[in-house]
Amino acid sequence: MKIAFIGGGNMGRAMISAIIGKELALPDEMIVADVREESRRALILELGVRATASNVEAVRNADVIILAVKPQNLAEVAADLSGRLEPRQLVVSIIAGKTAKTLVEGLKHQSVVRVMPNTPAMVNKGMSVWTATDAVNDNQKETARRILSAMGEELFTFDEGDLDKATALSGSGPAYFFLFMEALIEAGVRMGFTPETARQLTLQTAVGSAEFARQSGKDLAELRKMVTSPGGTTAEALKVFETGGFKELVNNSIEAALRRARELGS
Ligand SMILES: NC(=O)C1=CN([C@@H]2O[C@H](COP(=O)(O)OP(=O)(O)OC[C@H]3O[C@@H](n4cnc5c(N)ncnc54)[C@H](O)[C@@H]3O)[C@@H](O)[C@H]2O)C=CC1
Ligand SMILES: O=C(O)[C@@H]1CCC=N1
């Protein structure tokens, strides 16, 4: 399978690493177009893929073309590629907010898969939510599924509205968990732990809690109650979260992300 990437930044690299790791394509079957020379050099040296400054050159002979530029760069990419793609080629866009309709019209190309992945794809623990235009055939859907599975879990939806919602929840989500973990580490350091110890305690607790929730399949509230002894330490902490309006704060944050995802698309 020949894969072209337009944009070789954080997410582009995560996808390339996953594809190489799962041997879906050899490094020299992948070509990345990136405007930054430094970025191209790193891609060649670190991942062994080919790199070019030309978007047009990158898509030549590609079976799959992955768009991994920022939303504000889509217009220039579309200007380069519009009308130049062959009907058999599959375009996969991970660009936040940009709708399948915008992509089809901008590229003058019918077969488009729109995906919202996330950065844990770097370690094969990603979550990707995706949809496809009617022109995408079953083989192409299978190809998309294989690429996304290489990065972690994938979930197909017929409702494109889910993509903006997924952007707010799982696409941006790693940043929310990182922020929470940063706060826990800072609190740990304030109590007197070294930063290393505070980090170890925090990360293992995060990984352990997620894995426990997944493996037990239990309701999260039930798992929370298992930790919360009446009159104990957890109850004291949770009271402070509640008084501070924690759930409402989280909900407002997600709503802000959703609004922004929709704005990016308009
Ligand atoms: N970072 C994240 O957590 C996630 C990002 N996304 C989406 O993925 C896309 C890429 O995000 P990142 O990788 O974080 O951004 P990034 O800034 O790390 O990478 C974008 C790359 O595109 C290159 N580029 C800019 N203009 C170009 C052009 N005209 N032609 C070719 N290359 C060009 C840049 O030099 C850069 O290397 C965005 O649209 C974002 O919405 C989606 C899910 C998660
Ligand atoms: O912040 C952003 O716009 C992108 C989309 C999801 C994660 N990063």
CATH code, domain carrying 237: 1.10.3730.10
**Could you report the per-residue pLDDT of 75-118, keeping only the tens digit for each?**
999 999 999 999 999 999 999 999 999 999 999 999 999 999 99
**Could you report the per-residue pLDDT of 177-223, keeping only the tens digit for each?**
999 999 999 999 999 999 999 999 999 999 999 999 999 999 999 99
Q: Which atom of ligand 2 is nearest to the CA of 71?
A: 3
pTM, two decimal places: 0.95
Identify whether 256 is part of a domain. yes
Identify whether 168 is part of a domain. no
Q: Report how far residue 19's alpha carbon sits from residue 17's, in angstroms, rounded to the nearest whole number.
A: 6
**Could you report the per-residue pLDDT of 12-50, keeping only the tens digit for each?**
999 999 999 999 999 999 999 999 999 999 999 999 999
Using DSSP bridges, classify how beta strands 112-116 and 90-93 pair: parallel, antiparallel or unpaired.
parallel
Identify whether 195 is part of a domain. yes
pLDDT number for residue 266 = 74
Task: Please report, as a single letter, which amino acid is at residue 149.
Answer: S
238 lies in the same domain as 110:
no
Q: Cβ(66)–Cβ(234) under 8 Å? A: no
Interface confidence (ipTM) of the complex: 0.98
79 lies in the same domain as 131:
yes
What's the Cα-to-Cα distance from 66 to each of 49, 111, 118, 223, rounded to whole Å?
Answer: 14, 12, 15, 40
148 lies in the same domain as 215:
no
141 lies in the same domain as 229:
no
Write out the two tokens for 24: 């879906």
Q: Report how far residue 121's alpha carbon sits from residue 127's, in angstroms, rounded to the nearest whole number.
A: 7
147 lies in the same domain as 249:
no
Residue 120: CB within 6 Å of ligand 1?
A: no
Q: Which residues lie across from 127 on neighbouring strands?
A: 153
137 lies in the same domain as 188:
no
Instruction: Out of 143, 163, 183, pick the residue that ends a domain.
Output: 163
Summarize the annotated binding site for NADPH as residue ranges: 55
CA 5 to centroid of chain Cα atoms: 15
245 lies in the same domain as 155:
no
CA 72 to centroid of chain Cα atoms: 17
Residue 73: CB within 6 Å of ligand 1?
A: yes
Question: How would residue 156 be classed by pLDDT, with cut points 50, 70 and 90?
Answer: very high
Summarize the annotated binding site for NADP(+) as residue ranges: 6-11, 68-71
Range of the domain at 51: 3-163
Identify whether 94 is part of a domain. yes
Residue nearest to atom 25 of ligand 1 (CA): 69
Show the ligand 2 pocket: residues with CB < 6 angstroms. 96, 167, 171-172
Identify whether 78 is part of a domain. yes
Domain count of the fold of the chain:
2
CATH code, domain carrying 86:
3.40.50.720
**Could you report the per-residue pLDDT of 216-229, keeping only the tens digit for each?**
999 999 999 999 99
